[in-house]
Each structure stands twice: as C-alpha cells, then as structure tokens.
Amino acid sequence: MGLSIDGLISGQDTTTLINNLIAVEAIPQTLLKGKVTAAQNYTTAVQGLNTKVAALADTATNAAKPASYDLYTATSSSSQVTATTSTGIAAGVIDVTVGRLAQNQVTVTGPLTTWPDATLTLTNAAGTATVITPASGSLDDVVSAVNTAGLGITATKVAVGADGFRLQFSSNASGAAAGFSLTGSTVSTVAVKPAQDAQVTLWAGTSAAQTITSATNTFADLLPGLDVTVTAVSTSPVTLTVTRDDTAITAIASGLVTGLNDIFALISTKSAVSTSTDSAGKTVTTAGLFAGDSTVRAVNQNLLSAASMPVDGHSPSEIGISITKTGTLEFDATKFAAALAKDPAGVMKTVQEISGRVATAAATASDKYDGTLTNTITSQESQVRTMGLEISDWDLRLTAKRTSLERVYTAMESQLGTLKSQAEWLTSQVASLPDVYTGSSSS
C-alpha cells in the first residue's frame, strides 16, 4: 500500500504528481494493451470466418458424393398404401392390389378354473413341438410357464364372468410362419384369428398377375429401394410412383451457393473501410479487420475460383451458377431446373465437381491442424499470450516505480519539515536577541 502525504509540508498534490509521472512511464504498456485488444478482435473475427468455412467444407464434401443425389419421392394413389424410399431407389411406377393383411394368431380355450392336464404342448408352424410343464394346475402357473418358455407366444388369463376364465394364446409376430397349435391337452380351443401373411397382387387382372406375400404389412424393396406398407384390403389397383426429387437436388446446389455467399459477405463486411467524426469534428477513417489481409483475401479468391471455374469445358453459369459484379455468386433456380430436366446426369455431375473443388478449398483454409486460417488464429493467440506476459512485466515495473517515487516524495516532505523546523527555531532565536544601541549621545 502506497504512502499518502499530500501537501503536509510543501502544499503540493504529490499523489496526482506521482500518478501523472506513472502515466507517462506507462505509455509503452498502454500501447501494448491497445495491440492486445486489436489482436483479440482480429482473432475473434478470423475464428468466426473459420467456423463458416469449416461448415462449408462439410456441406460441400457431402454434396460431392454421388449418393447424395439419390433423391427420390414416392407417392401413392391411396392413403391405405404408403411408400417410403431407401438406399438404391430408382424412378418407377407400379400398381398393386391388396388381397389381405398380415395378422398374429390368436387362439382361446374354453371356460376354465384350473388346467386339467399336467402338461401342454405348443407346436410351431415348422412342426417343432415343445412340451410345457406348469408348476401346478393353476391358470396363473400355466400363463407363467408359457410366457417364460421363449416360444414367441404370449398367454393371458381372461376373466369371462360366471364361466370363470379362458386362456388366450397369441403369437408375438404376425405372419403364417409365426403360427402354432396347442396339443396334448384335453382342453378345447378355438382359433379366433389365424396366423396370416399379407398379400398383394401386381398387375392384377392380366396374364402377368403376380402374388407376393409378407409376414408383416410391409413389403420391402417392392421396387429397388421402395418399401410399401398396406393398411387395408383394396378392391382396385393402387398406383405407386417414384420420381426424382428435383426440389431436393436443387436445394443442394442452392445451399452450396448460399454457404459461399455467407462467407463472401462476412469477408466483405470485415474488409470495408468506414469513416466517422471524432469529438473535435475531424473525420476519422477506420479500416476493417480484414482490410489488406492476404490470407483472408486468398481464402475468398480460392473459394470463388472453385465455384466458378469451368467443368469439362462448360461454365457453371450454364446451369444457373454465376458470378455477380460484386464478386459473389448468384443461383438461378429457373435456369437450374431447366438444365436438370434436360440433362439430369450432366447437371448432377457438374454440381458434384464444383462441390468437390469447394470442399478442397474450404478444407485447405479451415483444417483444424494446418488450415491457413487455423494457423493464423494460432499465431495470433501466441502473440496475445506473449504481449500479456509483457504487460504483466510492466505492471511489476510500474509498481516498483510508484513505490520509488512515493519514497522520494515522502523523504522530500520529511526534509522540508526538518528545514521548516530549523527555520522556525532560528526565527525564534533571532527574535529573542536583546536590542543593541549603536548610536552616540551629546552633552
């Protein structure tokens, strides 16, 4: 803690005087702090740019994959037959007539109060018989024994009023292959619902009619990459249509252009030179954080070139991707749609090629290990750390300087106090001397 002896003897504001001297001494540190702030602002801006470029690299990498263009939509002429697409889908159309739906088998016993036999035998559709021995004739024990046998059959005790109970046996899966029979018992049973496969007919009513079955209500890969699910029997054909999803393909191309333009806009904004007026009314010109930055300029140019260079001798503008006068890209959806309709394979190949080049340029800039922007960020952060250490050294130096000045001024005030005391003593001594007559008298 510093000493405070303002004006005790000299009457001077020594604290202000010391603060002013320290302020002059701290000018190099103040300039250094300004450099740190500028470096941090620049680093933050480059990090923001790097994040956008890295995201573009991921988007472009996906857009460069041929599989990304296997985009199709499936429609059905009936809400009772739905279609979904999967890998390997291709355009096509087919009619189906639903003959029946898949179902689980349900078998129930007659009214019971206890199980009359020591065992029961369940035989599956493949003919494999399993003998089950309940712990007792209790219906609950029979239910437990069946449910823990791992046969894919669930037993349930159902209360039926005055008649007591019935046991219901249900297959856990649908389809004929999940069917079963209950034998080896004196208990009567009724098949409430038989095990049944779903069935559809292709090209019904023609000599080419073909019946197809499925253990579930879904028919996988009815067409390549097309799964069809039925929910009701139909008496007339349902038309399933698979078409290329041009909207989704267009979104890939337009998304790539949007991602590039976002980066170009950020660079342009951060490179702009602005003017303002200071408190004295003078015009102050301020350059953007990226103004004159060769690394950022190279990133901008590399991305623009990757997106605009010809593909197999054809300009991307032929499919609606062109450069504007302001150095950004423009996507013409109408032109792209026309080109896609005329030559879908050629358009998709062009977008893939552009995407691959953009992905390479973006990765070169944003790679987390050796990207040009990454290296810039690392270098700036290192400089900030170094300057931070220098600022800390200045703090120690200025603290020592302040302590030294406080001691000097404290000593000065003390010395002035001593001199003042001496002066007061001398004054008092002089005042105490007797008057001395130096004149002469006459008679």
- Written in H, E and C, the secondary structure of 338-365 is HHHHHCHHHHHHHHHHHHHHHHHHHHHH
Pair 285, 273: CB distance under 8 Å:
yes
User: Could you tell me if 127 and 212 lie in one domain?
Assistant: no
- Could you tell me which of 216, 222, 181 has the C-alpha nearest to residue 93? 222
Q: Is residue 233 part of a domain?
A: yes
Q: 242 is written with which tokens? A: 């698979």
> CA-to-CA distance for 247 and 251, rounded, in angstroms?
6
Together in a domain, 168 and 306:
no
How distant is the alpha carbon of residue 391 from its chain centre?
Answer: 38
Specify if 421 maps to a domain: no
User: Are 38 and 96 members of one domain?
Assistant: no
Instruction: Divide the 443 residues of the chain into consecutive groups of 10 and give the mean pLDDT of each group.
Output: 50 74 80 85 92 96 92 94 89 94 97 94 95 96 97 97 95 97 88 96 94 96 93 94 94 96 95 83 83 93 96 95 94 96 95 97 95 93 85 83 79 70 74 65 50
Count other C-beta atoms under 10 Å from residue 199's C-beta.
18
Burial class (CB in 10 A: 0-12, 13-18, 19+), 47: middle
Residue type, 430: V
Residues 166 and 239 in one domain: no
| Residue 420 Rama label (left phi>0; alpha psi -120 to 50; beta) | alpha
- Tell me how far CA of residue 129 lies from CA of 115, 144, 180, 187, 195, in angstroms: 19, 18, 9, 17, 17
User: pLDDT value at position 294?
Assistant: 94
Split into its structural domains, the chain has a count of 3
Mark whether 210 and 327 lie in a shared domain.
no
Other beta carbons within 10 Å of 161: 7
* pLDDT value of residue 3: 47
Q: Tell me, what's the pLDDT at 408?
A: 78
Backbone φ and ψ for 376, nearest 5 degrees, come out as -65, -45
- Domain identity same for 349 and 203: no
The helix/strand/coil state of 79 is coil
Q: Identify whether residues 265 and 119 lie together within a single domain.
A: no
3-state DSSP assignment of residue 324 = coil
Same domain, 34 and 88: no
Query: Which of the listed residues 229, 244, 259 is the one where a domain comes to its end?
Result: 244
Q: Are residues 282 and 222 in the same domain?
A: no
Bridge pairing between strands 274-277 and 226-230: unpaired
Spell out a b/e string for 332-358, using b for 16 or more CB atoms within 10 Å of the CB, else e.
beeebbebbeeeeebbbebbbbbbbbb
**What is the DSSP code (8-state) at residue 372?**
H
SS3 156: strand
Among 304, 280, 433, 303, CA closest to 365: 303
Pick from 74, 72, 76, 80: nearest CA to 95: 76
Q: Are residues 127 and 85 in the same domain?
A: no
Q: Do residue 49 and residue 160 come from a single domain?
A: no
C-alpha 169/C-alpha 402 separation (Å) is 94
Based on the domain organization, do 268 and 411 belong to the same domain?
Answer: yes
Domain assignment present for residue 422? The answer is no
Residue 438 in any domain: the answer is: no
CA distance 160 to 143: 16
Q: Is residue 432 part of a domain?
A: no
Q: Is residue 345 part of a domain?
A: yes
Look at residue 134 and tell me if it is in a domain.
yes
397 three-class SS: helix
pLDDT of res. 438: 56
pTM of the model: 0.68
**Residue 435 domain-assigned (yes or no):** no
Q: Which domain holds residue 132?
A: 106-193
